[in-house]
Amino acid sequence: MNDNYQHSEITQLFLKAFYRVYNKLDFGFLEKVYENAMRLELDKMGLFCSAQQSIEVYYDGEKVGLYYADLIVNDCVIVELKAAAGLAP
């Protein structure tokens, strides 16, 4: 993995956590199950993780809505989880 990216040390740990969760749970669950498992795994790694945190979105200086991040790791990496049977072409 390229270590030149911002927060690469956190994303490397996140990917390790992802593979641990996926290898234990496999596929077929709803996103919330994977989200909860990822929070547990990230906590074991000593990372701070918050779920479904709202983030105000601005456009041209005006608030246009709220975005709910699935996970925010160490207050700096936003994670959007997806559970699907496959990827669209």
- Nearest-angstrom CA–CA distance, 50 and 67: 14
| In the predicted structure, residue 75 carries a pLDDT above the cut 70 | yes
Q: In what order do the strands lie in the sheet with 62-73?
A: 49-59, 62-73, 77-79
Structure tokens at 64: 């246009």
As a whole number, the mean pLDDT across the chain is: 90
pLDDT the model gives residue 6 = 87
pLDDT digits (tens, 9 = 90+) for 15-68: 999 999 999 998 889 889 999 999 999 999 999 999 999 999 999 999 999 999
Query: Chain-centre distance of CA 50, in angstroms?
Result: 9
pLDDT the model gives residue 45 = 94
* 34 in any annotated domain: yes
Structure tokens at 65: 């809505």
Domain with 36, as residue range(s), is 8-79
Q: pTM of the prediction? A: 0.79
Q: How many domains does the structure of the chain reveal?
A: 1
* 20 in any annotated domain: yes
* 15 in any annotated domain: yes
